[in-house]
Amino acid sequence: MDALLKEGIPQKNIYTDIVSNTKEVRKSLSKLLKYVSDGDTIVVWKRDRLARSLIQFTNLMTKLKGKGVRFRSITEPFIDTTEKSSHSEFIINIFAGLAQLERDIIIERTKAGLESVRRWEKILGAPKGISKKN
């Protein structure tokens, strides 16, 4: 909060959520995303205050770019879309590539796990019907 105030951001324009960033539903973030419009800038102390995973971050950056909203991280000056900087575009594109790699790895792991379970002839999913006990 102090860093944002020091940057000259009025307290009425500071949105906070007291919930884990890994949660999909964050009320203040949702409100902020509805409020911002073309030409606005979202400023965060650090990127992980906005999104924990690269997938979340790249999805948000895509959404912001589509709305014409700029983004700046106070402690990570290389993540700044307020000026047309080839460096920040490059970093954001690297993050997008890493997020895609993360998605692909999750898919590979899931497929491998499912194949392994099937090889052992285990039944996937919840048991069908009512148990003998019930």
Q: Residues, the chain, total?
A: 134
* Residue type for position 38: D
Query: From CA 19, how far away is CA 82, in angstroms rounded?
Result: 28
Strand partners, 41: 70
User: Which residue do the tokens 């400023």 mark?
Assistant: 43
Question: pLDDT digit string (tens) for 3-33?
Answer: 988 989 889 888 888 776 555 678 888 898 8
Q: Which residues of the chain have pLDDT under 70?
A: 20-24, 134
pLDDT of residue 40: 93
User: Within 10 A of 62 (CB to CB), how many other CB atoms are there?
Assistant: 12
pLDDT of residue 78: 79
69 by Cβ neighbours in 10 Å (0-12 / 13-18 / 19+) ranks as buried
Rounded to a whole number of angstroms, the distance between the first and last alpha carbons of the chain is 54
Percent of the chain with pLDDT over 70: 93
